[in-house]
Amino acid sequence: MIFPKGINLKGTSKDSEISIIPDNMLIGSLDDLKLGSNIILGEALAYDLNVGPGDSVKLVNISESNPLLGVPRIISFKVSGIFSVGSEIDQSYALIDNNLFKSFIKPENGENIEIRVENVLTARETGRDLIKSLENEGYIRLSSWDQLYGGLFRAVQLEKIMVSLLMSLILLVAIISLLISINNLIKTNEKEIAILRTMGYSRNQIQRIFLQLIFTVGVIGIALGNLLGYLFASNITEFLLFLSRVFDISMLDVYYLDYFPSIVKFNQILMINLVTFVLLMLFGLIPARKAANTNPINIINHS
């Protein structure tokens, strides 16, 4: 059967140091490209074409059509390897030997050169500096990763902001819920507070008791939150895959990923803990002062 599909064809060599594909080969290696008209396909692309190692595929270069007959240039390749980098690259990219690529895509049509930078966030600025240094070499067009895949990156950044806002609201609700619980505790123990006041406890001592209670509950909650959060962040891919199996939904396909990368930044954790603790103690002063200002005479008379 024929499965036509547009692809991104790249010429590469086994000596390339900028590609991550050699480290993500499922079948075969880049060395196989030197053996002849071999081609390496992304895992999803091979699945869409229903081909595997040893099968033949035909590449059609429409831009190289015969000017007299109007027949596009067609070359047959044998699938020699499959790679998977866990992104949309698996769905559309194919690799052939660089020399064969130049004969298939004539150099006069232009040549693509990929450059790997240490800091991906400065890729565009690095490219501009490079173009300035090569401005006398002819026409050069720059395409950085954020231009090619910037939409996905910006969507992830927006979701990160929304998640941060949502977590801030959840944190605020949790603090308010804790304070409501402390306030209810004060109401149900007004008699005990009144007895302590009649026994000679000062308002500062009563306030200190409830602040210590808030401090203890807050520290335990923060510690448990850190532990559970670290375990969740470190195993988020397994957690999402578990939810996918339980609810029969695919949660990673929207990003063309088969794993969810995560980085635990301890400086951010420390900052969140500090802000949480400060807010907890500041809001905790309200019920603590209320308990300290309890009038023991009124409580005893009403009881």
pLDDT mean over 109-134: 74
125 and 108 together in one domain: no
177 and 109 together in one domain: no
135 and 157 together in one domain: no
Mean of per-residue pLDDT scores for the chain: 78
Give the pLDDT band of residue 109 (cuts 50, 70, 90): low
Residue 68: pLDDT above 70?
no
pLDDT mean over 210-224: 88
171 and 267 together in one domain: yes
Give the pLDDT band of residue 224 (cuts 50, 70, 90): very high
Quick check: is 285 in a domain?
A: yes
- Cβ burial, residue 22 (10 Å; 0-12/13-18/19+): middle
Quick check: is 2 in a domain?
A: no
Domain end among 113, 134, 165:
113
Domain count, the chain: 3
Quick check: is 1 in a domain?
A: no
168 and 236 together in one domain: yes
Q: Residue 124: which residues within 8 A CB-CB, separation 6 or more? A: 142, 144, 146, 147
216 and 169 together in one domain: yes
Quick check: is 60 in a domain?
A: yes
Q: pLDDT tens digits, residue range 164-198?
A: 888 888 888 888 887 788 788 878 877 887 777 77
3-state secondary structure string, 184-224? HHHHHCHHHHHHHHHCCCCHHHHHHHHHHHHHHHHHHHHHH
Q: Give which of 36, 39, 32 is closest to 56, Cα–Cα.
A: 39
71 and 137 together in one domain: no
Domain end among 101, 127, 148:
148
Q: pLDDT tens digits, residue range 138-167?
A: 667 777 777 776 666 777 778 888 888 888
Residue 12: pLDDT above 60?
yes
Residue 263: pLDDT above 70?
yes
What phi and psi, each to the nearest 5 degrees, are found at residue 74? Answer: -130, 130
202 and 143 together in one domain: no
130 and 12 together in one domain: no
185 and 265 together in one domain: yes
Cα(76)–Cα(32) distance, integer angstroms? 16
The predicted structure's pLDDT at residue 223: 92
Quick check: is 72 in a domain?
A: yes
**Residue 191 domain boundaries:** 152-302
pTM summary value: 0.54
